[in-house]
């Protein structure tokens, strides 16, 4: 695996609607391996990996390019900045954080925090993101030259990969994109017996917006959304609330808030994992959602599921996942695509 590529994906900004730089990285790594590339009006990048095989099943594997983040919404007279959140951001995690504003120049800033010795300690409520002040510490004239309404803003934490773990912002879903890219590198060299498509989709964090139009282009039989999924395997958390665990292999999702995965497709994947001795985890929950929902129910629909790398502290400045889980997810995905022609309904 090219872990430097994972670091590049994580460190490059790409909030919903501003995914162009991420798309360039994806394109640089897989376009030359694929038969064709199509970019739809929303900015989804869709790749046909192999030549069309008549009467063969078709499978789409997707990972979304956007990360949770912010847009500049207002600049105060004194140069302080206001932002709006794009995607699910816990206001308690936002307060006091370092941010990067991607303006004409990259400007480091901080979410203004009241020193504890002068704050009202009886007020434990979190200030909404849109009410917080963002302080760059630079002059008003410089702020107005370098920053404008609509500039994207991300957490400023950089990706660290060592000791068999990844610590980074944006593992939802840059780790899924990484799995997609590395799998295409392997599968493009194989003689597979299906019609294999992949998509790098936009605006997932804003209601699966990009995925809703991909089915009309592909009309696939099977769909897999690659994700970084919630891992809550922490001390003090009951086992039934821990969901996917680190170091236990990829998650095969049974359900979430919007999806009931195709049971026969899931069983097919489980059987492959068992046969190849790839550890995996099953999760059933009624929270969260992925592009798999859109792939399952739009256009003619498809047999859909989710394959995920477990990640602690999702949608935070610093999420954690394990290199071993990434490796196992790639291995299982390669098996699925290589053997999907054997699926029996």
Distances (CA, A) of 264 to 119, 245, 297: 56, 24, 17
* Per-position DSSP letters for 48-72, written without gaps between them: E-S---TT--EEEEEEE---SEEEE
Averaged over 151-168, what is the pLDDT? Answer: 97
Percent with pLDDT over 70 in the chain: 97
The torsion defined by the Cα of 110, 111, 115 and 118, in degrees rounded to 10, comes to 140
| pLDDT above 90 (res 305) | yes
pLDDT greater than 60 at residue 222? yes
Positions marked catalytic: 204
pLDDT of residue 126: 83
Among 197, 187, 230, residue whose Cα is nearest residue 316: 230
Is the pLDDT at 124 greater than 70? The verdict is no
Cβ-Cβ contacts under 8 Å for 312 (sequence gap 6 or more): 231, 232, 233, 234, 246, 319, 320, 321
Beta bridge partners of 172: none
127 confidence band (pLDDT: 50, 70, 90): confident
pLDDT of residue 115: 65
| Integer Cα distance of 256 and 243 in angstroms | 11
The structural domains of the chain, ordered by start, are 3-67+169-342 (3.40.630.10), 69-155 (2.40.30.40)
Dist. CA 233–CA 252, nearest whole Å: 17
Q: What is the pLDDT of residue 125?
A: 77
Average pLDDT, the chain: 95
pLDDT of residue 23: 98
Q: For the chain, give the percent of residues with pLDDT over 90.
A: 91
Structure tokens belonging to residue 41: 């009006």
The pLDDT tens digits for 19-51 are 999 999 999 999 999 999 999 999 999 999 999
CA 167 to the chain's CA centroid: 15
pLDDT over threshold 60, residue 91: yes
Q: How confident is the model at residue 123 (pLDDT cuts 50, 70, 90)?
A: low
Q: What is the pLDDT of residues 310-339, one digit of tens each?
A: 999 999 999 999 999 999 999 999 999 999
Kindly state the helix (H) or strand (E) to which residue 75 belongs, with its residue range. Answer: strand 69-75
Taking residues 225-230, report their average pLDDT.
Answer: 96
Beta 165-168 vs 160-162: how paired, if at all? antiparallel
1-25, pLDDT tens digit by residue?
999 999 999 999 999 999 999 999 9
Maximal C-alpha separation, the chain? 71
In 3-state terms, what secondary structure has residue 35? coil
Q: pLDDT at position 119, please?
A: 57
Encode pLDDT of 240-297 as tens digits: 999 999 999 999 999 999 999 999 999 999 999 999 999 999 999 998 899 999 999 9
One DSSP character per residue, 3-23 reads: HHHHHHHHHS---TT--HHHH
Q: Find the mean pLDDT for residues 306-310.
A: 98
C-beta neighbour count of 158 within 10 angstroms: 13
| Alpha-carbon span 249 to 231, nearest angstrom | 12
């Amino acid at each position: 695996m090219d872990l430097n590529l994972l670091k590049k994906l994580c460190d490059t900004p790409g909030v919903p609607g501003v995914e162009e730089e991420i798309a360039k990285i994806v394109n640089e790594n897989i376009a030359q391996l694929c038969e064709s590339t199509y970019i739809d009006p929303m900015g989804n990048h869709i790749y046909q990996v192999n030549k069309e095989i008549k009467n063969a099943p078709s499978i789409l594997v997707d990972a979304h390019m956007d990360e949770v983040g912010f847009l500049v919404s207002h600049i105060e007279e004194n140069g302080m900045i206001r932002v709006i959140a794009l995607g699910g951001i816990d206001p308690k995690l936002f307060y006091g954080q370092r941010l990067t504003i991607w303006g004409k120049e990259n400007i480091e800033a901080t979410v203004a925090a009241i020193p504890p010795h002068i704050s009202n300690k009886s007020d434990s409520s979190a200030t909404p993101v849109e009410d917080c002040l963002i302080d760059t510490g630079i002059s008003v004239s410089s702020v107005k030259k370098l920053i404008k309404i609509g500039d994207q803003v991300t957490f400023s934490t950089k990706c660290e990969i060592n000791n068999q773990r990844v610590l980074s912002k944006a593992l939802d879903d840059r780790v899924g994109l990484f799995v997609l890219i590395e799998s295409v590198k392997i599968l493009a060299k194989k003689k597979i017996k299906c019609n294999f498509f992949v998509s790098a989709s936009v605006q997932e964090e804003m209601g699966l917006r990009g995925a809703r139009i991909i089915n009309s282009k592909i009309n696939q039989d099977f769909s897999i959304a690659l994700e970084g999924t919630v891992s809550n395997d922490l001390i003090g958390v009951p086992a039934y609330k821990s969901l996917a665990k680190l170091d236990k292999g990829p998650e095969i999702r049974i359900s979430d808030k919007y999806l009931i995965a195709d049971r026969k497709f899931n069983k097919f994947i489980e059987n492959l994992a068992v046969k190849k001795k790839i550890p995996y985890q099953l999760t059933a929950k009624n929270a969260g959602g992925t592009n798999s929902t859109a792939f399952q129910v739009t256009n003619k629909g498809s047999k859909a599921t989710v394959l995920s790398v477990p990640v602690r502290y999702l949608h935070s400045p610093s999420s954690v996942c394990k290199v071993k889980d990434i490796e196992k997810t790639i291995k299982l995905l390669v098996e699925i695509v290589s053997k999907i022609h054997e699926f029996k309904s």
